Amino acid sequence: MSEAGATKKLLYVNRKAPYGTIYAWESLEVVLIGAAFEQDVSLLFMDDGVYQLVKGMDTKGIGMKNFSPTYSALGDYDVNKIYVDEDALAERGLALDDLQHLVWEDENEDWAEKDSIHLVGRDEIADLLEQQDVIFNF
Amino acid sequence: MKFGIMVNEGPYTHQASDSAYHFAKAALAKGHEIFRVFFYHDGVQNGTDFTTPPQDDRNVVKRWSELAEAHGLDLVLCVAAAQRRGLVDEEEQKRHGKSGHNVAPGFRISGLGQLIEAGIQADRLVVFGD
């Protein structure tokens, strides 16, 4: 669908907690629709956005749809570069083990299962932002 | 330069729509092109014809409509966000059996693909939000 050629680098920056506001869910809706455009997509979770990936979510008590399972489908949409601010995790008493184990299958390596989540420091985040053509900030 | 603009907050509570409007107006005055203005989240409320702000205040919605009229701007309200928040055009009114429609002149309802396309086609996508 991208007329006139070159693939662009798209980054979705997720900075807010999964519930309390709708930004996390509506960001995910953009990512899912955007996947059809076959661009070079990355996701970055920072600030309270790191809570979006925490495993074992149960939303019954707040009467809202639990959209956590949707993140595990991202690999099937070729969304497999998911960066998480390791300092933001640590500041909230969280570690990689507290997050969902998100994976994708690499068709170039006989569908080997690979991790989608990469912990990054703030210098790396600066580089990541610098490399992008388009940044969606949620 | 060709700009895409994304507005993520509704009128009046947040300044995002005002800032986006001033940016768009200034960019057009400098001879730049606006590929599209895409309204998402509560930003879709910028497209309701039912706003009636006090006369001594700016009319955020009408201002967008007038800018669209003057420059042929493409103002797009995200359909999923609009349905959640009660933004209804004539077609949607019929489909869902609603009592009225409220999409202001110059705005249209369409899908999120229009946002991604704006990101791809524009030289810069500028996001106005909280």
Does residue A88 carry a pLDDT above 50?
yes
pLDDT in tens, A44-64: 999 999 999 999 999 999 999
Give the Cβ contact number of residue A63 at 10 Å.
6
Chain A within 8 Å of B117 (Cβ-Cβ)?
yes
Is residue A43 within 8 A of residue A35, CB to CB? The reply is no
Tell me which amino acid residue A57 is.
M
CA separation, residue B96 to residues B39, B84, B87 (Å): 22, 13, 12
Contacts of A136 in chain B (CB under 8 A): 6, 119, 125, 127
Query: Of B24, B34, B44, B78, which one is the catalytic site residue?
Result: B78
* Joined tokens for residue A26: 């509506």
Closest-CA distance of chain A to residue B16, Å: 13
ipTM for the complex? 0.89
CA distance A17 to A22: 9
The phi, psi pair for A54, rounded to 5°, reads -65, 135
CA distance A44 to A29: 15
| Mean pLDDT score, B64-84 | 98
Contacts of A24 in chain B (CB under 8 A): none
pLDDT at B67 over 60: yes
User: Mutation test of the interface with chain A: which of B1, B84, B120, choosing the one with the most A Cβ atoms within 10 A?
Assistant: B120
pLDDT band at B78 (very low <50, low <70, confident <90, very high): very high
- Global pTM exceeds 0.90: yes
Residue in chain B closest to A132 (alpha carbons) equals: B124
- The model's pLDDT over B40-52, given as tens digits with 9 standing for 90+, comes to 999 999 999 999 9
Tell me which residues of chain A have a C-beta less than 8 Å from any C-beta of chain B: 1-3, 8, 10, 22-23, 26, 29-30, 33-34, 36-37, 39, 133-138
Residue A1: per-residue pLDDT: 44
Note if B78 is an active site residue: yes
Could you please report the per-residue DSSP string of A35-95?
GGG--EEEEEE-GGGGGGGBSS---GGGT----HHHHTTGGGGT---EEEEHHHHHHTT--
pLDDT-derived band at A39 (thresholds 50, 70, 90) equals: very high
